[in-house]
Amino acid sequence: MIFAQIFDTINNGLLVIDREMTVKYWNRWMAMHSGIAADEIVGTSLFSYFPELDQPHFRRNCKSVLQFGNFCYFSQRLHKYLFPMSAPGSLADSFDHMQQSCSMGPLRNKDNKVEMLYISVQDVTEVVSYQKKLVIMNHTDQLTGVYNRNYMEPHLVKEIERCRRYDHNMSLLMIDVDLFKIINDNYGHPCGDYALKTICERITSNIRKSDSLIRYGGDEFCIIMPETSEKDAYKVAETIRKSISDHPFTFADMTFNTTISIGVATLDQSTDDVESMLKKADEALYSAKQSGRNSVT
Amino acid sequence: MLKSLLIVDDSPVARMIIKKCLPAEHGLQIYEAGNGQEGVEQYRTHNPDLTLMDLTMPIMNGFEAVEHIRGLDPEAVIIVSTADIQEKVIQRVKDLGALYTMKKPPSKKSLTEALERGAEAFAQVQK
Amino acid sequence: MNAAAEEVFSSEEKDILQEVMNIAFGQATAELAEVIDIFVILSVPNIKVVKGRDLPGYFINEMDGSSVVNLIEQNFLGKFSGQAMLIFPSGAEKELIKLFNQENAEGTYDVDIDTLEQETLIEVGNILIGACIGKITELLSDFVTYDPPRLVVQDLAESSPSHFPVDEDSFAISIRTVFRFEQQNVEGYLFLITKQRSIKWLKKALQSFLESFM
């Protein structure tokens, strides 16, 4: 009596299936979130309502529970969900489906033989949503909204590895704002912040979605450009340079001009890891500065 | 009727369990061996009517022992007793000339069946 | 079995324990193959009694020196209670994916390869552990529940006795098997470490097992 009430009132999906995959019990949580009433599904095959579950992987886990009496787990990390349902409330905007953590275990008869198995379904959408936000926060520069250095290193390692494996082009731009300190000194820090934000906006509108802009340090930026030859990278760098130097900046009622210098490095025989790529881009940037700033090297 | 039985198993408990599961007043002369090699020697010495053979044993395993004994006596009646009753184990044992494979642990029922089928096979050979 | 076992088990108990484990692991091998198409070979289980404080050293010894490993640990709770530890050499996950997740390789799952490898290790581990413990407890008329398995990449040389579910002064029974997947050249170790309070029950259960044949 008490347990029957718990079965229907607990804030978890619970269902019981027999050895033939016929649904025996289906709690209210499952009914509410799947839109399938218990009296519809009980007595029919689970796979008739959820054909996507009929896969070797799911069947293997069911068999092991029925045979060995062990428990199986379907993590959100791998599966995202077992039962397609919509995410609750406002989370539905960012998730196509409710994210679920599911487990499965044996139910025994009087002789201790495993006769049926239960599946429990836990809604973890909210937790996953927080995790996603944390990951984004951890990879984002607070001021400009572009990627930060936490993001750069592992991303660069992966891109270099991928482009080397498939023998594809890849370039890296290192960007420094010329005489940025003077903007801060002359117009104040809020204006310096504005300049950095505007520079990022102008750069972003001149690169592809597959390129990633990273705030490397105070006024230093870096762009990882997959599938980009040295020639193409140079072209993009020129466009970016002009987008900064050719249009004045306006903050409050102050108008000023600024310029950037860019160093270009491209993946090749001698430049084939993170360290050598960064070093080459840095050296190129240094010569751009030496040659009088507002230039690409 | 069977008169003698050779039990080959490295585990003294396994041999004890087999003896416990034999029908009461079976009247069999029982010989025991603790590995395949001893099993072959015991077979050579006593020429038992039926042999129960474990598979996983040190020094000489059950597969080799079945092969050796069938080499000595192509009409030897051997039943294999193992927990690992995979299809391919059963087939391999059959190909080596064993009568059939029984599942471990044994029970009164499975040993009664073993004695019956063993006796049948032994009678065939005697003809 | 080793010298410390003398303090805990009579020689008859040791024989029964060994035979129960032989049968359990043999049945697990057969049923894994027949029921879920995993062709795995389990070696004859090696049973030792180890003091809690000696466990870390014992593992390193048993692992032939390779101490950095993928470790899947899972607690089990019943009258037979303890911790299962499944140990794969690092790198095994790449082989296991070929064996286990063909359907996933076709892009069923929208996850990166690291996640897929880790989850595959956990799934294989969960089933192997469940099969072995399931068969042992079935023979001894017990049944157990489990924690979800956890995957840790660990240097065994740095593990401390507190890692294990056994007091430093208590005895643990270690049941070790080497398993090998037939189609892929992957080997690993499975250790079942039982708590001291299971030993008392185990001694009784072993006697009952034997008596069930009378």
Whether residue A108 lies within 8 A of chain C, CB to CB, comes out as: yes
Are A118 and A153 contained in the same domain?
A: no
C104 vs chain A: nearest CA distance in angstroms? 9
Residue of A nearest to C29 (CA): A68
A68 contact C CB<8A: yes
The answer, for B45 touching chain C at a CB cutoff of 8 Å, is no
Q: Quick one: A193 and A233 in the same domain?
A: yes
Last residue of a domain, which of A94, A110, A131?
A: A131
Architecture per CATH, B4-126: 3-Layer(aba) Sandwich (3.40)
**A81 belongs to a structural domain:** yes
pLDDT by 10s per residue, chain A, length 297: 899 999 999 999 999 999 999 999 999 999 999 999 999 999 999 999 999 999 888 999 999 999 999 999 999 988 899 999 999 888 888 899 999 999 999 999 998 899 999 999 999 999 999 999 999 999 999 999 999 998 988 888 888 888 888 888 899 999 999 888 888 888 888 889 999 999 999 999 999 998 999 999 889 999 999 989 889 999 999 999 999 989 888 888 888 889 999 999 998 877 788 888 889 898 988 988 888 788 788
Q: Looking at the complex, does the CB of residue A69 fall below 8 Å from at least one CB of chain C?
A: yes
CB-CB under 8 Å, C148 with A71: yes
Q: Is residue A184 part of a domain?
A: yes
Query: Chains near C, with 3+ CB pairs < 8 A?
Result: A, B
> What mean pLDDT do residues C67-75 have?
83
- pLDDT tier for residue C103 given thresholds of 50, 70 and 90: low
Regarding whether A173 and A126 lie in a shared domain, the answer is no
Give the pLDDT of residue A92: 87
pLDDT of residue C159: 67
Give me the number of domains chain A comprises: 2
C79 vs A292: which has the higher pLDDT: C79
What is the span of the domain harbouring residue A271?
Answer: 140-290
User: Touching check for B90 and chain C: CB below 8 Å?
Assistant: no
Answer yes or no: do B20 and C44 touch at CB < 8 A: no
Task: List, in order of start, the domains of chain C with CATH numbers.
Answer: 3-211 (3.40.1550.10)
Give the tokens for residue C88: 């794969």
- Residue spans of chain B under pLDDT 50: none
Q: Where are the domains of chain B?
A: 4-126
| Per-window interface: C 121-160 vs A, CB < 8 A | 122-123, 126-127, 129-131, 133-135, 137-138, 141, 143, 145-146, 148-149
Which of A80, A112, A131 is the endpoint of a domain? A131
| A40 domain-assigned | yes
Residue A267 and residue A152 share a domain:
yes
CB nearest C34 (choices: B13, B20, B86): B86
Domain annotation covers residue A297: no
Closest CA to B83 of C45, C134, C23: C23
pLDDT value at residue C3: 73
Look at chain A and count its residues.
297
Tokens of A236: 């993009």
pLDDT at C162: 63
Q: For residue C89, what pLDDT is reported?
A: 78
List CB contacts (< 8 A) between B93 and chain C: none
CB-based contact C31 A60, cutoff 8 Å: no
Inside any domain, residue A83: yes
CB contact at 8 A, C187 and C70: no
CATH number, domain containing residue A162: 3.30.70.270
Are A214 and A282 in a shared domain? yes
Task: Indicate the residue among A113, A131, A149 that finishes a domain.
Answer: A131
Higher-pLDDT residue of C55, A41: A41
Residue A25: the pLDDT is: 97
For residue B12, the distance in angstroms to the closest alpha carbon of chain C comes to 7
3-state secondary structure chain A: CHHHHHHHHCCCEEEEEECCCEEEEECHHHHHHHCCCHHHHCCCEHHHHCHHHCCHHHHHHHHHHHHHCCCEEECHHHHCCCCCCCCCHHHHHCCCCCCEEEEEEEEECCCCCEEEEEEEEEECHHHHHHHHHHHHHHHECCCCCCECHHHHHHHHHHHHHHHHHCCCCEEEEEEEECCHHHHHHHHCHHHHHHHHHHHHHHHHCCCCCCCEEEECCCCEEEEEEECCCHHHHHHHHHHHHHHHHCCCEEECCEEECCCEEEEEEECCCCCCCHHHHHHHHHHHHHHHHHCCCCCEC
Q: Could you tell me if B17 lies within 8 Å of chain C, comparing CB atoms?
A: yes
Closest CA to C33 of C126, C122, C131: C131
